[in-house]
């Protein structure tokens, strides 16, 4: 690979940044996964940046950027806008370097993320209901006060800091064949891909880099197809940490040149991945941090050698985790909600209970009402949620009810 046509940081930049970042960032564990290895047909390793300080890889880019500020710039302080991980990374880095930090966050930000950012010493200002409004407010604050705006992904120093993760991965899995990386704005994948590709070129070999986006916030596929960073309309997604409407300009150029493929995953794919990571790997990962594993589970990845899935963050609100686990159980066929119309006469609820017991389904919740929409005067509606052991058992429960003359509707 020739540096003449290279966009962004050089390998020397990444190697130099590694020493800087190492002063604050941990070398996070690399865990092997037998379950995912059997599924993919190649060895799968999990790079656990969910166990990084501040709970994500963001500390790498934030610290590298802040460490390169001049004394004059540091004296003015820094400002950033984020709903979570970038906020914590900037706040932590600023504290370590003795810089005043102001962070704009949306009003509805998860309480654990808000508290963590404040605990790292930043002044937090709540503004607006989406990340777009804090971004505008942070930019205006930078102009008014002279504070240095720290972007979440679209800056060479941020890209260089994130790329140190790629060099770390190579140390831990020397025979690496494929790396799977979550993508939002592109800071992580542009850094990791560039560092890996340049290092592999120097060693005379190749490494594949595959990016993963949430289907509801996938700006990179249309951008790559158009050949230019393109803004999209984002739909709601549980992977809010990678919900970015437009790729960073520098990040897009690097991804265009360095990344082999970008795939997308659904909300159900992501929920299943969180459940698998909890049950199989005993790892707590936020939805955005789990999309690399989601891509493996969804059959979107093909690999012929050692593969690393980056778990980019673990900052998940416990209330969201509760909902996502329930969604993951349903998506995995292990949680079933049924709507059953019953004749309004004694014994019907007991009969349904008997049938569910015969089918070995554990009842979680029951709602019995005469006021459902579309009910006849002589009918009642039963909504029952049960635990099942998987898709086959789920279907068995439905079949048992139908064979007894009922017409259960699956929610």
Distance CA 310, CA 135 (A): 27
Q: 235 to each of 211, 216, 324, 333, how far by Cα in Å?
A: 19, 5, 17, 25
**Burial of residue 143 (number of CB atoms within 10 Å: 0-12, 13-18, 19+):** exposed
Beta bridge partners of 383: 339, 367
- The SS3 call for residue 113 is helix
Contact indicator for 40, 297 with CB cutoff of 8 Å: no
Residue with tokens 């906020």: 87
CA–centroid distance for 393 within its chain: 30
Residue 203 is encoded by which pair of tokens? 């060693």
Contact indicator for 250, 7 with CB cutoff of 8 Å: yes
Active-site residue list: 58, 312
Distance CA 250, CA 190 (A): 8
Residue 359 is encoded by which pair of tokens? 């089918």
Instruction: Give the helix/strand (H/E) hosting 365.
Output: strand 362-369
- The SS3 call for residue 76 is coil
Distance CA 180, CA 394 (A): 32
Contact indicator for 295, 242 with CB cutoff of 8 Å: no
Contact indicator for 30, 48 with CB cutoff of 8 Å: yes
């Amino acid at each position: 690979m020739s540096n003449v046509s290279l966009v962004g940081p050089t390998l020397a930049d990444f190697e130099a940044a590694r020493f800087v970042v190492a002063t604050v960032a941990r070398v996070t564990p690399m865990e092997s996964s037998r379950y995912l290895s059997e599924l993919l047909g190649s060895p799968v390793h999990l790079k656990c940046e969910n166990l990084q300080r501040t709970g994500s890889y963001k500390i790498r880019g934030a610290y590298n950027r802040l460490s390169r500020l001049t004394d004059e710039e540091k004296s003015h302080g820094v400002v950033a806008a984020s709903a979570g991980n970038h906020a914590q990374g900037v706040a932590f880095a600023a504290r370590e370097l003795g810089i005043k930090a102001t962070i704009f966050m949306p009003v509805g930000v998860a309480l654990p993320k808000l508290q963590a950012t404040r605990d790292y010493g930043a002044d937090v200002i709540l503004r607006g209901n989406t990340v777009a409004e804090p971004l505008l407010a942070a930019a205006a604050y930078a102009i008014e006060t002279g504070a240095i705006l720290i972007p979440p992904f679209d800056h060479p120093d941020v890209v260089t800091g994130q790329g140190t993760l790629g060099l770390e991965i190579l140390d831990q899995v020397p025979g690496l064949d494929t790396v799977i990386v979550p993508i939002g704005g592109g800071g992580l994948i542009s850094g990791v891909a560039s560092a890996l590709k340049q290092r592999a070129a120097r060693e005379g070999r190749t490494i594949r880099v595959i990016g993963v986006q949430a289907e509801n916030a996938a700006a990179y596929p249309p951008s790559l197809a158009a050949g230019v960073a393109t803004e999209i309309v984002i739909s709601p997604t549980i992977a809010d940490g990678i919900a970015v409407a437009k790729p960073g300009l520098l990040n897009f150029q690097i991804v265009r040149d360095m990344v082999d493929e970008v795939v997308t995953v659904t909300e159900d794919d992501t929920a299943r991945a969180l459940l698998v990571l909890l049950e199989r790997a005993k790892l707590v990962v936020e939805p955005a941090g789990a999309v690399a594993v989601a891509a493996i589970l969804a059959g979107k990845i093909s690999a012929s050698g050692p593969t690393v899935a980056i778990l980019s963050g673990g900052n998940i609100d416990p209330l969201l985790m509760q909902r996502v686990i329930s969604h993951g159980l349903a998506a995995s066929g292990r949680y079933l909600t049924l709507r059953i119309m019953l004749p309004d006469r004694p014994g019907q609820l007991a009969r349904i209970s008997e049938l569910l017991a015969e089918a070995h389904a554990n009842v979680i919740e029951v709602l019995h009402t005469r006021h459902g929409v579309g009910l006849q005067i002589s009918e009642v509606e039963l909504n029952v949620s049960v635990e099942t052991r998987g898709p086959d058992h789920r279907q068995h429960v439905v079949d048992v009810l139908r064979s007894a003359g009922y017409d259960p509707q699956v929610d």
